[in-house]
Chains A and B, each alone.
Chain A
């Protein structure tokens, strides 16, 4: 599994250079960057006037205001800092399904997003998980971080059950910088998706949900089958009147709608994709949608 092959398509890279991850929310960054910070600083974006206080830099005194109002006023500007982008990639056993597999797809998307974030001087971190974090790469910026992200993505193999709630709580509790959490998962989590999303929002993070689905190639003969859960190994004997694949597809769509409604209600950017959709197409769609919605 090599994630670099498609990713280093020069044409695609050229397209990515013009993009950046958009957010309306202001975060405290650690380093200077290209995003407006919550702090006042020295950028060119005017913030406000305020009264002079001893110790202020004379260079920022607005002499025109002082001449007109006889008051010494200081002109302040917004600061510019970077933000942290945390990529959470579901590596549970269910991610091995699909052509290409959902995990493969998620890895490519995650690589693109990390690349874009780092190219815009933002910090990018990576966490893979099933029912617990399996790999954790703290958010950093720089070219070396990109290589680390790529190498981390190389070694991922699908295994275990999905438990987004436990993972979000553990990852966000590690004291990482507040920023954007991008969740790449098939969302087939019996523990539910609502709690982790609300938890991330309530802790000052912005969360993006990328729901990766795969076309089912399930073919059933007859009206009964013993289904085995790839994550837990549990078996279930079921009988059905319609083809199981059609039933599952319909249920998948219903589940997607539920998830989408929830995300809209919480103003969480939600993106649904299928592994049959080319990933570059989806990535461009992601950035484009973000740009339009923000």
Chain B
């Protein structure tokens, strides 16, 4: 029979103070006198001095003895604290953008990320669930919340690097937050990426853990394409330094093997810098833009990234972005799309107020329908927006919370119109569907309300465009299976049980009995001391 559970032997460390107390007790000559009555009188008269309180010492000794016995009892009974362990669930997202192919120490960054993912999966505790996903220029979730390691491993094996650029964007965060987070317990979002996510703001309901697999002195961590007006595109490469020195990095842009531009940038120690180029689609021959960092070190050939130049879709925006409140969005008719050879699954960019383009990108598909967004004359309202139809496709993943409309246009919606949001008594957002024509009325200024600076704004515009195109796009992340994602039922939490080392005994009465025995023993010891004193 095992007398002690080795797991609890550490409790016997309580013997150390007891031993110390015994060792450091001053041994004085012992004398028994008839009574301390006269001695106490002498102490009161300060003829002799009391050097220590033996009673206090005895009490301390007794407490320590009690402590040691309790430790021994605890070691004997090997108590197991039974508690419900519910670790936070995990949303594990692996970056599969092209930059993850960059090698570091002979291995691609993607391999490091996968290794890290395997470790996370291996460390799953009972009841803890993982949602496995990957992202590049789109977000894809591969599994339901599960703690089945085999399933997770098999899906992880299927993830490969795509030849597209991408980074974790605010859109992805919104998707994760709206579709995954509510179904999980205190989820932690782990992003295995070589690039800092676009935004980690407003993450009160989601904890982030970032794993970066990049290595080397400097590397391209992301490359993206943004469509500009007139058939131009802006290529942006994000370069990050892993050096503690300030780096001067020459950058060369290639169209296939043809050199387009050559420039240079300076990177602060461990800093990040974006380099942007504007390219005209008409000038591009190969269709692949490659950016290379011309550095004289061994990592030079790894510091390159390429992006297939996508064709721009023509989005006709009436008016300038500064006059957005008077703008009328109209989707190009089908014949125009056909004549300009616009294919589905393309990126579009939306002009931002004040000029420039937003890097939020949407995937839409051309359709034969036409639609418009129109606004009218303004009247003063000064009321917060109240969403009437939060489930409407136009308002999907869009938050209008906290937006106050100072003024709106007195437009009476048509009879068949669906009012989506109001400000006070005035409708500020409604949509009308009539035959092949769809119209969305945005009856307030996005600039004046600050909506244009919100992450919801491009989503709203994207939703509007999606709605007026009236076609479901299967690989649109906002229309992906995520919104129909069903949470797997929680598995019962496992409880640890006492190892059968000694018979299961109830600890509390046992400890009480031991304490009582200890008191009796102490009493007997005290009586014995008294008797010895008398002798």
Contact = CB atoms under 8 A, between A and B. Distances in A.
Interface of A: 93-97, 162, 186, 188-190, 214, 216, 218, 220-222, 224-242, 244, 247-248, 251-252, 254-255
B51 interface: yes
Interface in B34-60: 34-43, 45, 47-55
Contacts of B32: 227-230
Given A94-B34, A189-B37, A228 B29 contact: no
Contacts of A234: 36, 54-55
A230 B35 contact: yes
Contacts of A214: 34
B526 interface: yes
Contacts of A228: 30-33, 533
Given A229-B533, A238-B51, A218 B31 contact: yes
Contact of B29 (A224, A231, A255): A224
A235 B526 CA distance: 11
Given A232-B530, A233-B530, A239 B39 contact: no
Contact of B42 (A94, A235, A247): A247
Contact of B33 (A189, A227, A237): A227
A237 B28 contact: yes
B487 interface: no
B534 interface: yes
Contacts of B33: 97, 216, 218, 227-230, 248
A227 B47 CA distance: 15
Interface of B: 26, 28-43, 45, 47-55, 526-527, 529-531, 533-534
Contacts of B48: 238-241, 244, 247
Contacts of B31: 218, 220, 225-228, 244
A233 B26 CA distance: 19
Q: Which 7 A-B pairs have the closest CB atoms?
A: A233-B530, A94-B34, A228-B533, A188-B35, A226-B28, A240-B48, A235-B54
A116 to B, nearest CB: 29
11 contacts: A220-B31, A221-B29, A225-B31, A226-B31, A226-B54, A227-B31, A227-B36, A228-B31, A230-B34, A233-B531, A238-B50
B50 A237 contact: yes
Contacts of A94: 34-35
Given A96-B534, A233-B529, A238-B51, 20 more contacts: A186-B35, A190-B37, A190-B40, A220-B29, A224-B51, A225-B30, A226-B54, A227-B33, A228-B533, A229-B33, A229-B36, A231-B34, A232-B36, A233-B527, A234-B36, A236-B54, A237-B50, A240-B48, A240-B49, A255-B38
Contacts of B34: 93-97, 186, 188, 214, 230-231
A224 B181 CA distance: 74
A220 B34 CA distance: 15
Nearest to B35: A188
A222 B49 contact: no
B51 A222 contact: no
Contacts of A218: 31, 33
Nearest to A224: B28
A216 B55 CA distance: 26
Contacts of A247: 42, 47-48
Nearest to B54: A235
Contacts of A222: 29
Contacts of A95: 34
A93 B50 contact: no
A255 B44 CA distance: 13
Nearest to B27: A226
A78 B478 CA distance: 129
Contact of A227 (B39, B529, B531, B534): B39
A214 B28 CA distance: 25
A240 B35 contact: no
Given A225-B28, A228-B31, A233 B534 contact: yes
Nearest to B534: A230
